[in-house]
Structure 1
Amino acid sequence: MDQLYRRTLALVAAPLSFRIGIAGMKIAIAIIFLWIGALKFVPYEADSITPFVANSPFMSFFYNDPKDYKEHLTREGELDPARRAWQVSNNTYGFSRGLGTVELIIGTMTLIGLWNRKIGLVGAFLAFGTPFVTLSFLVTTPEAWVPALGDAQHGFPYLSGAGRLVVKDVALLAGAWLVLVATARELLLQAEANAAEDVSAGYVVAKRSNARGS
């Protein structure tokens, strides 16, 4: 039994297992950014991020009227022409499309990292930086916490649906960091291997030159 346990641990800890895990993490990060980025071009998704953007000191200036967002919120699947018109005039959809484009780029670069480490390194770096912005919403967005509507459980630490959605980016932060570290190590090993080849090739050339000279 102990021998089986050790073999299982060795299999999980093998270099191939690690490489599969990193590749899987790249794909997972790419799926998140590509899927959510594409949805940013759909009105309901753009509407849903309105509270985050309107309350963010780093993003609210993208909106034309961030202070009045609460009066124009809609539920997912709901169509209210008047509120939709306000979202248009507020630049809600223009900002969302811009954000979606950035997320699509990050997802694409991270996915390309399966074949091109340098492009993947940039994608992993951007994927690592993104959660710092989204996690700041827990501080700036009142809708991230359960409101005081009569129940005893409200405010910190009681995350609302929006807050639970945001806090999951902690896992994205850690995963992107692992990909970033693994990619950096691979690039360093590749550079060292290339340098060793150059030295070896230079030695061969010098040896041939000496042989001809003698």
Structure 2
Amino acid sequence: MRKQLGSEIGVCGVVLILLWIGIFKFTPVEAHAIQRLVEYSPLMSWMYKVGSVQAVSNVIGIFEIITAFLLAISPFSKKIAFMGGLLGTVIFLTTLTFLLSTPGVFRIVDNVPVTDFFILKDIMALGICLQVLLDHWPEKRKITA
């Protein structure tokens, strides 16, 4: 029970973050705030070739909101939990690549390398989504003759 409670609180935290940030993606402020990260991403930069800065942000926001919804209702369905965990894993693996692909993302302050710390929360969120994904991984059915 205690382990399950901790997992559920973690999932609720990821749902809140994805929902909040997903909704914020529909604002010009957030669309421009993520532009630099997305345009240098080898996984996402192509999006600006097919859509405007706001349109790309909106698509990302929709993806985040759908994932939040799937994770929120994950206790009711193993398939939904699997999909929510999978989409969340994709989201947070992708955003963590920004640390590698965005020029100047690290800087030195008082001889300590620092970055935009908002991205670092994605390490915990990735772990929670991976846990949901692996806990609900489809099992192979045994074929009996």
* Counterpart position of 1:25: 10
- Which residue type is aligned with residue 41 of structure 1? F
Question: Counting helix residues as a fraction of each chain, which structure ranks higher?
Answer: 1
Deviation at 1:168, TM superposition (A): 2.1
**Equivalent AA in structure 1 for residue 87 of structure 2:** L
Deviation at 1:128, TM superposition (A): 1.5
Q: CA separation in 2, counterparts of 1:62 and 1:180?
A: 27
Q: Does 1:172 align with 2:133?
A: no
Q: Tell me the residue number matched to 1:96.
A: 57
Indicate if the aligned counterparts of 1:33 and 1:104 stay in contact, CA closer than 8 A: yes
CA distance in 1, matches of 2:22, 2:110: 37
Name 2:89's counterpart in structure 1.
128
Counterpart-to-counterpart distance in 2, 1:49 and 1:101: 15
Structure 2: where are the runs of 5+ without partners?
Answer: none
User: How far apart, in 1, do the equivalents of 2:22 and 2:135 lie?
Assistant: 25
SS of 1:158's equivalent?
strand
Larger radius of gyration: 1
Structure-2-length-normalised TM-score: 0.84
Q: SS of the residue aligned with 1:58?
A: coil
Q: Which residue of 2 aligns with 1:13?
A: none
Give the Cα separation in 1 of the matches to 2:46 and 2:130: 30
Which of structures 1 and 2 has the larger relative contact order (alpha carbons within 8 angstroms, sep 6+)?
Answer: 2
Q: Distance in 2 between matches of 1:60 and 1:180?
A: 27
* Number of the residue aligned with 2:29: 44
CA root-mean-square deviation: 2.3
Where in structure 2 are the equivalents of 1:64-213 lying within 5 Å? 64=49, 91-146=52-107, 153=111, 158-160=113-115, 162=116, 164-184=117-137
* CA–CA separation in structure 2 for the residues paired with 1:117 and 1:133: 24
| Higher alpha-carbon deviation: 91-100 or 164-173 | 164-173
Name the residue aligned to 2:45.
60
Distance 1:57 1:101 in 2: 21
Matched-pair identity in %: 27
Quote the Cα distance in structure 2 between the aligned partners of 1:102 and 1:26. 17
Q: Give the paired residue count.
A: 140
Q: Residue by residue, what CA displacement relative to the aligned partner does 1:45-92 show, whole Å, maximum 9, x if unpaired? A: 11110110111122222225xxxxxxxxxxxxxxxxxxxxxxxxx811
Secondary structure at the counterpart of residue 76 of structure 2 = coil
Q: TM-score, normalised by structure 1?
A: 0.59
Partner letter of residue 182 of structure 1? D
After superposition, the C-alpha distances for 1:155-192 in whole angstroms (9 at most, x for unaligned) are xx6123x2x221221111111122223334xx76xx9x
- For structure 1, the residue ranges without an aligned partner over 5 or more in a row are 1-15, 65-89, 192-214
